[in-house]
Structure 1
Amino acid sequence: MKRTILKKLTACLCLCAVLSGALTVPAGAASFQDVPSNHWAATAIDRCAAQGWFQGKTADTFGVGQPMTRAGFAVALSRFFGWQSGETYYRIFSDVPQGTWYEPALRACYEHGAVTRQTGDFRPGDPITREELAVMLIRALGYGPIAGLAEDDPLPFRDVTTNKGHIAMAYELGLVSGMGNDLFVPDRYATREQAAVMLSRLYDKLHPAQTANEAMVLLRSGEEAEDLSGYQTVILTAGTLTGGQNPRLALSVSNTQKQVMETATASGQTVLLGISGQSGVLKNTTAAATAVAEALTDSSYDGVYLNITPSAENGDALAAFVQVLRAAVPEKKLYVAASAPARREAIPDYQALGKAADRIVLQVSGHEDTDGAVPVYAMEPLETVYYALSALNDQIPGEKLALLLTAEGRGRKGTGKPTAFSGDAVSALEAQGRTYYSDRYACAYLETKDTVVWYLNEKALEARQQLLRCFGVSSCCLSTPNGTLPAQES
């Protein structure tokens, strides 16, 4: 598929710096008499006023210690995200009449899923509780479907009995914290300064001051590529490691890959040699590392991308292999593909691997379900990506992680077997059938008369990158340059 090269891969999730409808105040102008400079929330309050999320109770007082109302937080959220409601009024809640100062913002929150209609009233003037605030934040991010699956996730608070998944996610993302003694105190109202701090934390997640964005792409042997200038790193998958106790490395570099290497090297891009292998090659880590090191030494490759799957019996062997290889070629980059941890499975110890490798590229299992009316072939489901990142949060720094994205579609024609669909094939099918988007999996899919294909589009990419940013991860790797996802503009 021939698509315009966009800046989406590293910038698509960033919210607008100047929020639509927000009041812009010069930084430092929020001189509230009730906010001393050494107040724990002073910086967040100043940012809150400067960005126009919400202002003080009066011109010179912020209202420290006073509760944030439910209506007030809805207004703050709509300003934070730049949401605008439609001009046509419709009643959502019985206690929210037309013409109130907060009604358009509340309607925008409802339309974007931050507020749901579980009862007939909203209670706009009530103080918002800490639990309600956490729930609205998670829903505003679009993570309501994930929160339902996070109900059983570990939570360091013994007083949380409802909305456990929402609070667990808000805590895991670093948006909320406890009140001491293993308590969250969910029913206590949130103060205005607490609301400011939580919005400020979310802003920092979505707008990191410094990021080391890296757009990577895999190019298979024999695969053509029109333009790879939008990527910082190009991985030429041309090596296979075999042999068990006597490992051997076979290289098969296509003419296209040779041309790509010359062009990429001349333009200053990083070029890695992609090597795959089965778990048996880890039986002799020293010999395997020597074979790879010999291929890298005196070559034009900047490093290696290893896609070697360890077995359950030799899970530590991959880290040992990478450690030996690091010592052999200290000047080369070492990128390693690793299966992401999944729910209901033991979480491997990734710390040693994270220390030895320059980058860990997470391979997240897709979700397949053919029992429903529409077969599901969702790739890198958002819920699975969230679990993997939360499980690794304390093991590997976010800046060392990347997410492998399946850029090709996956589906089936008729009753045939599931197969991959190129970007061109997906584009042709889009013109023939109807397209949909699954919020559950954050994945697009299409249906024609006899074909169903699931694929990642730009909306799906934005959803994954937003989640990655929340965990401090800013790098992605596309499985092919000829898929459904755009590259980054160089």
Structure 2
Amino acid sequence: MELIHQDGGSYTFSMPADDVTVSAVFRLTLPFADVPDDAWYADGVRYVYGRGLMTGTAADTFDPQLTTSRAMVAAILWRSVGSPQASYAIDFADVPLGQWYTEAVRWAARDGIVSGYGNGAFGPGDPITREQLAVMLYRYAQDRGYDLSNGTDSGLTSYTDADNVSPWALQAMEWACGAGLITGTGDGSTLFPQGEATRAQAAALLMRFGQAYPDW
């Protein structure tokens, strides 16, 4: 059967005379000219865009290689739970009131999902590292009551730079690797834990998180 595209995003088809089973798979068409259909991160972008977790940097661009900031990740996780308002005093001097990320950081700090650098700063515009992203997701999963046991035998030490993972991020990185959320870089042998996470990497990781925890 041939699907005929109609205005408004609808489709029609002619039903054959014989008994048939009709099934359809719909693939979100992205408006971003810089996300090719065959890009390794395209499905991740479809996932986050379709769920309203990430938007483009412009109407027709996603900027997949642009780094993801700490504020962006807080906002993504905040949106995933319906953008709740939190009555909580923000202790970060660099998170002023009235910014697009203020309420997201307020909520995430209240629930223990984010923390600062220990000097009263959060660094909202700082690029988030791969291990920082793992820690935020790990704490988010804890807060949501998800099963985190799949990170106990992660094979983290199989990566040549596993010793570079910061001690405070070790448990989260073990979980992220064990759950298949974070994979190797380059030829697959390195984790690059202090490497800055791009928007493409963040989108792919969030899609894998959704696959690991379907009720997210």
What range describes the TM-score normalised by the shorter chain of this pair?
Answer: 0.7 to 0.9
Higher percent of residues as strand = 1
> Structure 2 CA distance, aligned partners of 1:27 and 1:75?
26
1:401-440 pair list within 5 angstroms:
none
1:175 aligns with 2:181: yes
Q: TM-score, normalised by structure 1?
A: 0.34
What SS does structure 1 have at the residue aligned with 2:142?
coil
Deviation at 1:187, TM superposition (A): 1.2
Percent same amino acid at aligned positions?
Answer: 35
Pick closer, same or farther for the CA change 1:113–1:91 going to 2, 3 Å: closer
Deviation at 1:112, TM superposition (A): 2.3
Greater relative contact order (Cα < 8 A, sep 6+): 2
Deviation at 1:89, TM superposition (A): 5.7
Deviation at 1:151, TM superposition (A): 9.0
The equivalent of 1:65 in structure 2 is 65
The equivalent of 2:31 in structure 1 is 31
- Which sections of structure 2, spanning at least 5 residues, go unmatched? 1-25
What SS does structure 2 have at the residue aligned with 1:170?
helix
Cα deviation digits, residues 321-359 of structure 1 (max 9, x gap): xxxxxxxxxxxxxxxxxxxxxxxxxxxxxxxxxxxxxxx
> Structure 1 CA distance, aligned partners of 2:126 and 2:44?
23
> Structure 1 CA distance, aligned partners of 2:65 and 2:103?
27
Q: Report runs of 4+ in structure 1 exceeding 4 Å deviation.
A: 150-154
> Structure 2 CA distance, aligned partners of 1:152 and 1:172?
7
Letter in 2 for 1:158: T
1:166 aligns with 2:172: yes
The equivalent of 1:137 in structure 2 is 137
Higher percent of residues as helix = 2
The equivalent of 1:207 in structure 2 is 214
Letter in 2 for 1:66: L
Deviation at 1:125, TM superposition (A): 0.6
> Structure 1 CA distance, aligned partners of 2:85 and 2:117?
20
Deviation at 1:81, TM superposition (A): 3.3
Pick closer, same or farther for the CA change 1:170–1:109 going to 2, 3 Å: same
Q: Which has the larger radius of gyration?
A: 1
> Structure 2 CA distance, aligned partners of 1:157 and 1:79?
33
> Structure 1 CA distance, aligned partners of 2:97 and 2:190?
39
Aligned residue pairs, count: 179
> Structure 2 CA distance, aligned partners of 1:153 and 1:172?
4
Pick closer, same or farther for the CA change 1:151–1:48 going to 2, 3 Å: closer
What SS does structure 2 have at the residue aligned with 1:142?
helix
Q: TM-score, normalised by structure 2?
A: 0.74
> Structure 2 CA distance, aligned partners of 1:133 and 1:39?
22
Whether the aligned pair in 1 keeps the contact of 2:153 and 2:178 (CA below 8 Å) is: no
The equivalent of 2:194 in structure 1 is 187
What SS does structure 2 have at the residue aligned with 1:126?
coil
What SS does structure 2 have at the residue aligned with 1:141?
helix
- Which sections of structure 1, spanning at least 5 residues, go unmatched? 1-25, 209-465, 467-490
Pick closer, same or farther for the CA change 1:85–1:43 going to 2, 3 Å: same
1:24-423 pair list within 5 angstroms:
28-86=28-86, 88=87, 90-119=89-118, 120-142=120-142, 154-155=155-156, 156-159=158-161, 160-162=164-166, 163-179=169-185, 180=187, 182-207=189-214
> Structure 2 CA distance, aligned partners of 1:193 and 1:42?
8
Letter in 2 for 1:170: A
Letter in 2 for 1:91: I
What SS does structure 2 have at the residue aligned with 1:39?
coil
Deviation at 1:90, TM superposition (A): 2.1
Deviation at 1:152, TM superposition (A): 9.4
Whether the aligned pair in 1 keeps the contact of 2:71 and 2:101 (CA below 8 Å) is: yes
> Structure 1 CA distance, aligned partners of 2:153 and 2:178?
13
Whether the aligned pair in 1 keeps the contact of 2:154 and 2:178 (CA below 8 Å) is: no
Whether the aligned pair in 1 keeps the contact of 2:131 and 2:165 (CA below 8 Å) is: no
Cα deviation digits, residues 124-154 of structure 1 (max 9, x gap): 11111111111111111017xx99xx79974
How much is the aligned-residue C-alpha RMSD, in angstroms? Answer: 2.6
Whether the aligned pair in 2 keeps the contact of 1:135 and 1:167 (CA below 8 Å) is: yes
Deviation at 1:157, TM superposition (A): 2.1
